[in-house]
Structure 1
Amino acid sequence: MSITRIEPGPRMSGAVVHGNTVYLAGQVGEGVSVTEQSKSALAEVDRLLAAAGTNKSKILQTIIYLSDISTFGEMNAVWEAWVDPKNTPARATSQAALATPDYKVEFVVIAALD
């Protein structure tokens, strides 16, 4: 079975396709608030899924890391407006120290190909 790397770099690839599964690197967004960063990061999820030949209706699992769990509701409002309501994935959310203090949210996604 082949492996395809999308946007490979020296440290990581934006996404990796193996078989009928797409694994996205953790996506962080731009902006100051959790709302802004969530919208920006989920736009990147959309872009990478499209580059792999799939879309958010095919997401199998999402893991969400928040730098401050008290912003769960703010992130969830963005998520609920974005996610395909007929195809919600398995999901977990937790608080974690992210790569830089500027990051407030990170989305890790696994999806199926069409």
Structure 2
Amino acid sequence: MIERLQTGTRMSKIVKHNGTVYLCGQVGAGDTVAEQTRDCLSRVDTLLKEAGSDREHILQAIVWLSDMADFNEMNEVWDAWVPLGYAPTRACGEAKLARDVLKVEIIITAAVAPIP
């Protein structure tokens, strides 16, 4: 069974299938890559919670930066956000993002967290 949450005409923000959570690409507000990354990851936290998952269950992250010169600044925020011992697989590359003001976009795939 496929479950779609926060579904619009163009996309769903969350899709769940066979115990896996797929989030649409998340961007954040702010002037710097650090601010945008913090806001983006806060949005990821909110969506993961709604989907029944959390940071410790992230399987993969794909990070797009509008400029690879921002790699270290983004990583400072990322490294503080990922729980120690729970780093997912990750790819990071440079891409032209949907709007010129965007500096980072993150796409997450996670496992549904077991119910305690």
TM-score norm. by structure 2 comes to: 0.96
Task: Kindly provide the amino acid, as one letter, of the partner of residue 52 in structure 1.
Answer: A
- Residues of 2 paired with 1:7 and 1:84: CA distance? 27
- The aligned residue for residue 99 of structure 1 is 98
- The aligned residue for residue 10 of structure 2 is 11
State whether structure 2 residue 36 is matched by structure 1 residue 33: no
The CA deviation at 1:80 is 0.4
Q: Aligned runs of 1:53-92 on 2, under 5 Å?
A: 53-92=52-91
Aligned-residue sequence identity (percent) comes to: 48
Q: Which runs of 5+ in 1 are unaligned?
A: none
Task: Kindly provide the amino acid, as one letter, of the partner of residue 40 in structure 2.
Answer: A
SS at 1:85 equivalent: coil
SS at 1:70 equivalent: helix
SS at 1:37 equivalent: helix
The CA deviation at 1:85 is 1.5
SS at 1:74 equivalent: helix
Pairwise CA RMSD: 0.6
Task: Kindly provide the amino acid, as one letter, of the partner of residue 93 in structure 1.
Answer: C
Aligned residues: 113
TM-score norm. by structure 1 comes to: 0.97
Task: Kindly provide the amino acid, as one letter, of the partner of residue 99 in structure 1.
Answer: A
Superposed CA offset, 1:26-84 (max 9, x none)? 00001111001000000000000000001010000000000000000000000001011
Task: Kindly provide the amino acid, as one letter, of the partner of residue 26 in structure 2.
Answer: Q
- Residues of 2 paired with 1:37 and 1:13: CA distance? 22
SS at 2:87 equivalent: coil
Q: Which runs of 5+ in 2 are unaligned?
A: none
